[in-house]
Structure 1
């Protein structure tokens, strides 16, 4: 058994040993280096692409925030029109020649005029002439956003136009009301007489009832003019 092992060892020693030439070694080494470089280039490309996509996404997100924030700011700066939700005078024609004592019709008219969302109450004075009415407006319990909207809607400039508009509509539709007083947040704001607004517009207010052409060309046009509205209040 020992003899056989010795013979096998001699045969193995006599076998030619593997040999690589210098050229072959250089070729193998160069191939390994090339493969390593390719792997690194692939990783570098992937990293560059990732960074590039991340940069594009960040830029797009920044642009979105800038655009939306400026858009919101621009919207917030826009004034709320006193005509927001106001009907054409022709839509109220069915209430033409209403009497100041007709509580339900007066309530229906007020409900369609600007500011009705903030209307708190109204009262009618019908015991003796001059017949009159008083309408009160103010906030309820409002959240921050609603509070901001309320303050913008009832800015001094807007309130003046709302009350002048509502008084003109009420005088046009309620044939026997002589005076109208508006109260804002518990404080008297303004009081108009029919005679006063007849003189301001240069015609009897009753002529505007159901006449949309006259209403738009005279009442709406006049109340959009800040100077004319200020003149109306300055004379009080």
Structure 2
């Protein structure tokens, strides 16, 4: 009986340790990455994978050899009735978060299967009339973005 109790205790201990080592990004706040830099592959990867259509991200390139620094994001497999609208919304939303969180990101290129968009921090901030680095919460930034995603003229102005 003692041997069985030891095995059970040891099994539970291993289970608890394994469970404690397992982490998920599902509950991670994107603003935990605020202040990241383009050169931090891990931080940028965590950011872009948590943004809309992150599951369709097939890879990204960090351009850090010369300023201005930027990111190229490659997507595939996004399906939607209004696919061009979906691409535009993804580009605007994701670029806004990247510029708010990654200090030295100056441009982002979005490569979809049949469409390419490039957004710059300067142009996006000009369109919003706000410095994106001033935002400190996801909710506030989402509210700002939503106003632009709802209006076709504003979406076109940004892109």
Tell me the TM-score normalized by structure 1.
0.52
Alpha-carbon displacement from aligned partner over 1:125-148 (angstroms, at most 9, x marks no partner):
111100011000012xxxxxxxxx
Identify the residue that residue 198 of structure 1 maps to in structure 2: 125
Q: Count matched residues.
A: 133
Which has the higher relative contact order, 1 or 2, with Cα contacts under 8 A spaced 6 or more apart?
A: 2
Q: How do 1:33-52 and structure 2 match up within 5 A? A: none
Structure 1 gap ranges (5+): 1-86, 140-149
C-alpha displacement of 1:151: 2.9
Specify the structure having the higher radius of gyration (Cα).
1
Instruction: State the TM-score, normalizing by the size of structure 2.
Output: 0.76
Question: Corresponding residue for 1:172?
Answer: 100
Q: Compared with structure 1, are the counterparts of its residues 222 and 131 closer, same or farther at alpha carbon in structure 2 (3 Å cutoff)? A: same
- Which of 30, 43, 64 does residue 126 from structure 1 map onto? 64
Q: How does 1:83-102 map to 2 (within 5 A)?
A: 91-102=29-40
Map of 1:116 onto structure 2 = 54
Mapped to 2, the partners of 1:175 and 1:93 lie a distance apart of 12
CA displacement, residues 140-177 of structure 1 (integer Å, 9 cap, x when unaligned): xxxxxxxxxx4316711111011100000000000001
The residue number in structure 2 matching 1:103 is 41
**Alpha-carbon distance in structure 2 between the residues aligned to 1:230 and 1:206:** 23
